Copies of this chain bind each other. A is one copy, B any other.
Amino acid sequence: MRPMKPATRASTAETPSFQPLYLQIKALLLQSLAAREWSPGGAIPAEHELATRFRVSQGTVRKAIEALAADNLVVRRQGKGTFVATHTEEAQSTFRVLRIRADDGRAEAPASRLLDLRRGKAGGEVARLLELRPGDGVVTIRRVLEWSGRAVVLDEIVLPAVLFRGLTRARIAAYPGSMYGLFETQFGVRMLNAEERLKAVAADAFAARTLGVAAGAPLLAVERVAFTFGGKPVEFRRGLCETAFHHYANAIG
């Protein structure tokens, strides 16, 4: 007896003609993750238990979980269990997202200095990227990231207001971890992946003053749209980075 549909199903146009069982299981687990059925950092049920729950062999559950682990949605730890990935464990997850490094190669985490937070309406470009209607409310945060006391990055972070009700300067200042850790623990918004576009731009007056360079000096502009479950965009970020002693690191594999 099999609760899943038979693997082969009728195809409509460009839908794949068949969905392997392990991907169906993956989709079910994804639903549970999106529904916050298991809390970030917590363990999900053991493979054996999921296998009996879904009436499927352990190997099939295993393949589903491996696919989730490849997407960085869960973390497997031998002998302990499989855990919902979180942005609050500094070492593991932080450097996957933070690509700015000091040229000397030291893996130093920057300090964050909050400049301001204001509420407003989404402009056309940002509205499009965040899939908001023009005029929908947004929260805009500006901050500086400092390495060894040196201001290196000026960040502007734009968030849909509806997802971040009650976000204030004080709450940001009080939170010890990263921005995505705050989003996750305080607002239940989990950043899963992002797309970035990099350009070189000339420093405007404010950026120049903030980063201690001349107006017009070249800065690395990093624009990021971050997504949560279902490919829903939840953050637009624009960082201006002074790259005299720092760089953006990327591995091509």
Contact = CB atoms under 8 A, between A and B. Distances in A.
A39 interface: no
A71 B197 contact: no
Contacts of A195: 249-252
A117 interface: no
A199 B243 contact: yes
Contacts of A131: none
A132 interface: no
A45 to B, nearest CB: 24
Nearest to A70: B70
Contacts of A241: 200
A47 B8 CA distance: 25
Contacts of A200: 200-201, 218-221, 241, 243
A249 B71 contact: no
Interface of A is mostly: strand
Contact of A198 (B194, B217, B220): B220
Interface residues of A, number: 32
Contacts of A193: 251-253
A245 to B, nearest CB: 10
A72 B243 contact: no
Nearest to A248: B198
Contacts of A202: 217-218
A9 interface: no
A72 to B, nearest CB: 7
Nearest to A220: B200
B247 A198 contact: yes
Interface in A220-239: 220-221, 224
A96 interface: yes
Contact of A250 (B71, B198, B219, B220): B198
Interface of A: 71-72, 96-97, 99, 192-202, 216-221, 224, 241, 243, 247-253
22 contacts: A72-B253, A97-B252, A99-B250, A99-B252, A194-B251, A195-B250, A195-B251, A195-B252, A197-B249, A198-B248, A198-B249, A199-B220, A199-B247, A199-B248, A200-B200, A200-B219, A200-B220, A200-B243, A201-B218, A202-B218, A218-B218, A250-B250
The list of the 9 closest CB pairs from A to B, nearest first, reads: A218-B218, A199-B243, A200-B218, A200-B200, A198-B248, A193-B253, A200-B220, A197-B247, A194-B252
